[in-house]
Structure formats: C-alpha cells, structure tokens
Amino acid sequence: MSNPIHSTSAKSVLPMLAMRGLATGLCAGCVVGLLRLSHDRAAARVALWLEEWREVWWTVPIWFGVLVALA
C-alpha cells in the first residue's frame, strides 16, 4: 500500500488523516468499553458465586471425607 502523504497534496491529506485518527480513536474506545463491560459482568458473577458459597461452606469437610474414602 502506498503512502497517501507522498502521492497527494497536503490539502487533501489532512482530512484523510483526521478521519483515520477518528476511526482509530472510536475503535480503541469500543474495545476498552467492551473490556470494561465484560469485567463488570464477570465481577458481578463472582460476587454472586461467593455469596452462594458462604451458605454451603460447611459441606467441604464432608466432601473431603467422601473423596478420601473413595481413594
């Protein structure tokens, strides 16, 4: 791909570079936004899982005993 700066005049290059910068910024913003959204959703699921885990923590020694007996 040829460099557009060397093949056209400077007057027509500036809007093209501005659009390229705008597109790059929007794409980067979308990627960061999606990463933050997935992180927030995952954090909510982990918090819910930990809340449920507190209700059944007392069964761990029982399951450990079952696993030892099966071994």
**Identity of the residue numbered 48:** L
pTM for this predicted structure: 0.47
Q: Give the CA distances from residue 25 to residues 16, 32, 68, in Å, rounded to whole numbers and listed in that order.
A: 14, 11, 56
DSSP category for residue 56 = S
CA separation for the pair 17, 24 (Å, rounded): 10
Q: What is the pLDDT of residues 15-56, one digit of tens each?
A: 888 899 999 999 999 999 888 888 888 888 888 887 877 777
Pair of tokens at residue 18 = 């501005």
